[in-house]
Amino acid sequence: MSRLKMPFAPMEAATADEIPVGAGWQYEPKWDGFRCTAFRHKKKIELQSKSGKPLTRYFPDVVAELAKLRATQLVLDGEIVI
């Protein structure tokens, strides 16, 4: 079965000279982990790294949690923190 790779790259952080201020901004701590894009199409779930390498076999617990979601088609971009 072919991979569920989407034709777009994960979102990247942008550098700035100053921290933005205002009501529309929120901040969170920076945690180191694995940048991951998760793809689900029906029952098929795949995880891939920022560079496009497969991560699915390394994180079966993440795959299991994604399988519990009601959405059967999705793309999630985020960080897996151990």
List the structure tokens of 81.
């923190």
Catalytic residue among 30, 43, 53, 68: 30
- Per the annotation, the verdict on 30 as an active-site residue is yes
Query: Running DSSP on this structure, what letter comes out for residue 9?
Result: P
Query: Residue 61: what are its φ and ψ, rounded to 5°?
Result: -65, -35
CB 48, CB 2: distance < 8 Å: no
Catalytic site positions: 30
